[in-house]
Structure 1
Amino acid sequence: MRDTPTGGLGRRSFLSAAAALGGASLVSACGGLKGTGGSSSDVLKIGYVSPQTGPLAGFATADNFVVQQIQQAVRGGFTSGGVKRRIEIVVKDTQSNPNRATEVTRQLINSDKVDLIVGSSTPDTTNPVADQCEANGIPNVTTIAPWEAWFHGRNGKPGEGFKYTTLFFFGMKEFADCFFPMWDRADVSSKNVAALWPNDTDANAFRQGLGPMMKKSGYTPVDGGAYQNGATDFTAQIAAFKESGADLFTCTPIPPDFQTFWKQARQQGFKPKLATVAKVMLFPSEAEALGGLAANIATDFWWSPAHPYKSALDGKSAKQLADDFAAATGKQWTQALGSVYSLFEIAIQAFKEASDPKDRDEVAAKLRGMKISCMSGDLDFTAGPQPGIALQHPVGGQWRKGDRFPWDVVIVDNSANKAVPVGGDLLPTNA
């Protein structure tokens, strides 16, 4: 098993990337190349866990860039507990596997001796990472997982939450606040909603949470059945959706399964007037993989260059971060860019607020009590819906043909977050 400190760069590329930072060495910043001993008193180690390979790898496209950005933002160090500190970041790849996520988190705790762990992207990562941190008393914050899947999927106690583990993202109500206004505006004759929900933690949270909300709002979910991830034939689901006459479509599959489903749906004549999808079509690579079939698919956008948010570390705007990413990598921004950046903002802020950043209980308490304005907006971990959870409010966007890149996002509905400007009209996915 190979884990490189920058999450996927080979050693030669890694050292080149470090040199490009102009003196902020990622070799010392990221750790993992200097043995496995504990960190010294002036060094604070942050472990980062994400799916850099496998079917969820699209979520980790910006990881290496973010690590470099964070190190550059704090290259002069910062004061915590009256002492000048610097950070090291140790990056681990889950390979899109929950068991692997558990394993690498244990490595961070037992071998790398990190002071805090952050993690990103779907309950397959966030839940096993958080479980290990909670069991071992390690401060932790994760993101990009519906809070219900993270909280209830880990048997959280309502009103109590967890001591060491926290999350920022959103849940079923916020999905409803994002999707339902678009459904209400769609010119549809049927309020049946075709729902492609597999049998996993993420989708079951939608089945149990969003489904009842749909009914209360006058929509009827047509559940295609709890299939297993990795399916290759969606004929049965497509037939059921066509028979129901559903004009609306929603889903929470893994990205490769959606690609398969969407192509088969077109071949078999299922063309919903509006598709509002979750967990998929979050990143440009997915739109590119579908080609023309990606046009006007809508999804939730919790971060984009249009969002009026700024870094708590150096004041950089969301647009600047997206532009810097494109300039450095030649790639298009992704939503995870802002989220992963904020994981480190929050971790560093918790260290700064603690009288002793090596006191895990104190740092964990700072995470649970944090209120911060950062790259992901205004986050309040005390506001709930449960202790230690900060909510974001996504807006609706659709994929359209782009100018600089093949596909780009147009924000079409800001009902849930008026601070984000609308950039175009809601159009039918299939006219």
Structure 2
Amino acid sequence: MASTPLCIGVVAPLTGRLAPLGAPLGYVLRALAPDLTHLRNGGRRYEVTVAVRDSRSEPEAARQAVRALADEDGARIVLTMAGTRVLPAVADACEEAAVPCVSTTFPWQAYLHARGVGREHRFRWTYHFAWGLDDIARVFAGLWEGVSVSGAVGCLWNDDLQGRLLRHERYGFPPALSGRGHRLADLGAYREPAGDFGEQVGRLREHGAGIVTSAATATDLALFHRQAREAGLRPRLITCSRWLTYPHIHTSPDPDVHAELGDARVATLVYWSPGHPYRSGLDGITCAELARAYQEDTGAPWLQPLGLAHPLLETAHHALATAADPADRASVADALARTRLDTIAGTLDWTTGPAPNIALLPLVGGQWQPGPNGPRLTVVTNAGHPEVPLTGDLTPAR
């Protein structure tokens, strides 16, 4: 007897401002297509389809995409990544539609707070894997400690959710850095996109900060760095999460931005690289092989989100293959809750996360350094994760 076909739904930013950041997910969907045509569960073979809906980089369009996947495509599970407002909209819509969801790309504290719940809340349908703000703080502190600079660390944080959480006395940088001897100096909240950083540059001088940490866009960080230089200030090290985990050539078309940030040698978090020692449990590909295939097939440099997009599909396949009834969404959600899976990004374990519905990824520290084909991300610190090899030395700006 023919089995019920299974549909994996994907909400991706195919158009709009986030479209360049959706490229790795699109590539992985194409690359894994042959491995997703069918699966086996309990001795039975199931046909599998993948339905992709465009979030258009907007929350409401993302919610509409979820409804279409659930009602029209019959998705048994929905996957998504990218967008501090879009991703929570997808997760909330999945919770409302009673369809399992797996997401990734930003700190788990932001995932919870953007959805208006606390650390102890347990969702029925929605699961997330990433790292924490505290993990970013520890990696960044290790980078700061690798540079001999006295004075405060200037904090360039916006006035939105990301900035508020980074400042948070319980979830942000201050508690994570307690006892490490770093003095954080808030340079003042700003609205994105920024038009002027005169106030923040003034506070940088006032506090004598030789290091700056931020979560700014590439364009905003370049503007801040240029205005600081024009004021005679030269941060020895800038650490930046969020947008600068991508090459700045992917997040801004402005060559002036590229030149400014190339000169700044921004350090950032690294959650995946070709040197990571992991292998996919779905198609057997290694990190180095995936990065090389992406570069050969697209002509573009590898991107960290490849290492997030691939595990999304690995997790969906695993949940459908191990669910008591893969055609039943509640069974698929139950399978996600008990998942511990070795992936190309490392082990994802939803049974021991820092909060219900959360699995952690390891973080190490990297720096954007000049290379023959543009900016090159090197791994420069691996404290806590020595299995990830170092590929360069931390180099302060001169």
User: TM-score, normalization: structure 1?
Assistant: 0.84
**Where does residue 181 of structure 1 map in the other structure?**
142
Q: Which amino acid aligns with 1:231?
A: A
Please, which runs of 5 or more residues in structure 1 have no aligned partner?
1-39
Q: After the TM superposition, which of the residue ranges 53-62 and 267-276 deviates more from structure 2?
A: 53-62
Residues 66, 231 of structure 1: CA spacing in aligned structure 2 closer, same or farther, 3 A cutoff? same
Query: Residues of 2 paired with 1:237 and 1:111: CA distance?
Result: 50
- CA displacement 1:96-125 (0-9 Å, x = unmatched): 333332232233223333211111124323
**Where does residue 78 of structure 1 map in the other structure?**
39
Query: Residues of 1 paired with 2:356 and 2:343: CA distance?
Result: 20
Q: Which amino acid aligns with 1:119?
A: T
CA deviation after TM superposition for structure 1 residue 73, in Å: 2.7
**Equivalent residue of 2:317, what SS?**
helix
Query: Residues of 2 paired with 1:329 and 1:134: CA distance?
Result: 35
Q: After the TM superposition, which of the residue ranges 98-107 and 303-312 deviates more from structure 2?
A: 98-107
1:387 to 353, 356, 359: 356
**Where does residue 199 of structure 2 map in the other structure?**
236
Q: Which amino acid aligns with 1:108?
A: L
Residue 100 in 1 paired to residue 74 in 2?
Answer: no
Q: Does structure 2 retain, via aligned residues, the 8 Å contact 1:177–1:416?
A: no
Query: What's the % identity of the aligned pairs?
Result: 34
**Where does residue 71 of structure 2 map in the other structure?**
110
**Where does residue 272 of structure 1 map in the other structure?**
235
CA deviation after TM superposition for structure 1 residue 48, in Å: 1.6
1:139 to 100, 104, 123: 100
Residue 90 in 1 paired to residue 51 in 2?
Answer: yes
Alignment RMSD, CA only? 2.1
CA deviation after TM superposition for structure 1 residue 149, in Å: 0.6
Query: Residues of 2 paired with 1:168 and 1:189: CA distance?
Result: 36
**Equivalent residue of 2:11, what SS?**
strand
- What count of residue pairs does the alignment treat as equivalent? 388
Residues 56, 245 of structure 1: CA spacing in aligned structure 2 closer, same or farther, 3 A cutoff? farther
Q: After the TM superposition, which of the residue ranges 343-352 and 213-222 deviates more from structure 2?
A: 213-222
Paired residues for 1:147-158 under 5 Å:
147-158=108-119
Query: Residues of 1 paired with 2:12 and 2:138: CA distance?
Result: 28
Q: Does structure 2 retain, via aligned residues, the 8 Å contact 1:174–1:416?
A: no
Please, which runs of 5 or more residues in structure 2 have no aligned partner?
none
**Where does residue 206 of structure 1 map in the other structure?**
166
CA deviation after TM superposition for structure 1 residue 254, in Å: 3.5
Q: Which amino acid aligns with 1:408?
A: R
Q: Does structure 2 retain, via aligned residues, the 8 Å contact 1:258–1:280?
A: no
CA deviation after TM superposition for structure 1 residue 64, in Å: 2.1
Q: Does structure 2 retain, via aligned residues, the 8 Å contact 1:118–1:343?
A: yes
Q: Which amino acid aligns with 2:205?
A: K
Residues 342, 198 of structure 1: CA spacing in aligned structure 2 closer, same or farther, 3 A cutoff? same
- CA displacement 1:142-167 (0-9 Å, x = unmatched): 00110001123323354442111111
Residues 269, 97 of structure 1: CA spacing in aligned structure 2 closer, same or farther, 3 A cutoff? farther
Residues 205, 50 of structure 1: CA spacing in aligned structure 2 closer, same or farther, 3 A cutoff? farther
Residues 138, 254 of structure 1: CA spacing in aligned structure 2 closer, same or farther, 3 A cutoff? farther
- CA displacement 1:13-63 (0-9 Å, x = unmatched): xxxxxxxxxxxxxxxxxxxxxxxxxxx954222222233444434421222
Residues 255, 46 of structure 1: CA spacing in aligned structure 2 closer, same or farther, 3 A cutoff? farther
User: TM-score, normalization: structure 2?
Assistant: 0.91
Query: Residues of 2 paired with 1:212 and 1:62: CA distance?
Result: 34
2:313 to 335, 344, 354: 344
CA deviation after TM superposition for structure 1 residue 216, in Å: 4.1
Q: Does structure 2 retain, via aligned residues, the 8 Å contact 1:81–1:354?
A: no
- CA displacement 1:307-337 (0-9 Å, x = unmatched): 0111111110000000000111101110111
Query: Residues of 2 paired with 1:225 and 1:292: CA distance?
Result: 22
**Where does residue 248 of structure 1 map in the other structure?**
211
Q: Does structure 2 retain, via aligned residues, the 8 Å contact 1:80–1:351?
A: yes
Q: Which amino acid aligns with 1:116?
A: I
Q: Does structure 1 retain, via aligned residues, the 8 Å contact 2:138–2:177?
A: no
**Where does residue 382 of structure 2 map in the other structure?**
414
**Where does residue 329 of structure 1 map in the other structure?**
298
1:312 to 258, 281, 284: 281
CA deviation after TM superposition for structure 1 residue 416, in Å: 3.0
**Where does residue 188 of structure 2 map in the other structure?**
225
Query: Residues of 2 paired with 1:346 and 1:252: CA distance?
Result: 28
- CA displacement 1:324-352 (0-9 Å, x = unmatched): 00111101110111101110100110000
- CA displacement 1:58-91 (0-9 Å, x = unmatched): 421222211111212334x211254322322222
Q: Does structure 1 retain, via aligned residues, the 8 Å contact 2:3–2:45?
A: no
**Where does residue 290 of structure 1 map in the other structure?**
258
**Equivalent residue of 1:372, what SS?**
strand
CA deviation after TM superposition for structure 1 residue 274, in Å: 0.9
**Equivalent residue of 2:154, what SS?**
strand
Q: Which amino acid aligns with 1:232?
A: G
Query: Residues of 1 paired with 2:192 and 2:147: CA distance?
Result: 30
**Where does residue 334 of structure 2 map in the other structure?**
365
